[in-house]
């Protein structure tokens, strides 16, 4: 009888520990095939400058314009501050930018604020009807399908009505219908942060590889092994990293491909 009680107690403890630390445990067992690299490897602009014997700081190339969404007025589907800074810095050296996934327009706004004056940005998004009627494949992650519907609820954006809006073209269009042949080798920077299902991430990536200019960079958001809603992003990127030079930027959920 006592031994049964002890076994029950141990089992209850194991289950409690698992439930409390589910995310951490999943992360530990999750497969990350992609090599994490230091940000300085992405581009020379991120190399730091020596200020004194014990102090290093950013070069002027990575001093950016930024903003915060007011506390309590949170928006869905956004980047961390560190990721937003990386994207802003790369925008400074990008004249033609393409974004899969506008949502509130937070990242589009950062691209517009930081890119050269004559830059052009195309950003793709869905309205709520398009999102509800989106076609999907049987292998597509159901949580990601639900997220697409939650994130497709904006028809005005953070940049709407601002003077830098003239740099931006918003296209309400399913990226599966985008004709990449119209944009061959055109973009310096492509940010893939649209639908996170397998069929969409595959579609967007294949098109991005056609649309990226020589010397340009493709960034993917949400490479988080072990996170349910990012499962398909991780699965697809792990697969193509076997034959494409894709790296994971340390301390971020960003992966990148340099078209060199």
Q: Are 192 and 220 in contact (CB under 8 A)?
A: yes
- Residue 102 as a binder of ligand SAM (CB under 6 A): the answer is yes
Q: Are 119 and 96 in contact (CB under 8 A)?
A: yes
C-alpha to C-alpha distances, 234 to 41, 81, 102, 229, 256, nearest whole angstrom: 21, 22, 21, 10, 13
Q: Which of 94, 101, 165, 198 binds ligand SAM (CB under 6 A)?
A: 101
- Residue 104 as a binder of ligand SAM (CB under 6 A): the answer is yes
Nearer to ligand SAM, 130 or 258 (CB): 130
Q: Which of residues 155-214 bind ligand SAM (CB under 6 A)?
A: 174-176, 193-195, 200
- Residue 78 as a binder of ligand SAM (CB under 6 A): the answer is yes
Q: In whole angstroms, give the CA distance from residue 37 to residue 248.
A: 6
Smallest distance, Å, CB 33 to ligand SAM?
A: 23
Q: Which of residues 125-154 bind ligand SAM (CB under 6 A)?
A: 125-126, 131, 148, 151-152
Smallest distance, Å, CB 83 to ligand SAM?
A: 8
Strand pairing report for 55-57 and 49-52: antiparallel
Kindly report the backbone phi and psi dihedral angles of residue 210, in degrees, each rounded to the nearest multiple of 5, phi listed first: -80, -35
Q: Which of residues 18-77 bind ligand SAM (CB under 6 A)?
A: 77
């Amino acid at each position: 009888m006592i031994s049964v009680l002890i076994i029950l107690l141990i089992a209850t403890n194991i289950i409690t520990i698992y439930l409390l630390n589910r995310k951490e445990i999943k992360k530990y067992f999750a497969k990350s095939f992609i090599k994490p690299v230091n940000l300085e490897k992405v581009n020379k602009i991120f190399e730091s400058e020596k200020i004194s014997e014990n102090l290093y700081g950013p070069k002027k190339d990575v001093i950016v314009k930024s903003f915060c969404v007011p506390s309590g007025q949170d928006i869905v589907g956004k980047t961390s501050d560190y990721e937003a800074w990386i994207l802003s810095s790369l925008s400074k050296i990008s004249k033609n930018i393409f974004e899969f996934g506008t949502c509130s327009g937070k990242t589009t706004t950062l691209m517009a604020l930081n890119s050269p004056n004559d830059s052009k940005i195309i950003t793709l998004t869905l309205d709520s009807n398009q999102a509800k009627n989106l076609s999907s494949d049987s292998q597509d992650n159901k949580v990601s399908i639900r997220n697409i519907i939650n994130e497709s609820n904006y028809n005005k954006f953070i940049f709407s009505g601002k003077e830098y809006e003239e740099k931006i073209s918003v296209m309400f269009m399913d990226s599966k219908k985008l004709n990449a042949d119209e944009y061959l080798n055109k973009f310096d920077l492509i940010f893939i942060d649209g639908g996170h299902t397998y069929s969409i991430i595959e579609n967007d990536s294949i098109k991005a590889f056609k649309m990226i200019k020589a010397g340009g960079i493709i960034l993917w958001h949400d490479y988080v092994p072990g996170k349910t809603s990012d499962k398909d992003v991780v699965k697809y990127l792990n697969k193509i990293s076997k034959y494409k030079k894709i790296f994971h930027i340390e301390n971020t959920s960003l992966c990148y491909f340099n078209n060199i």
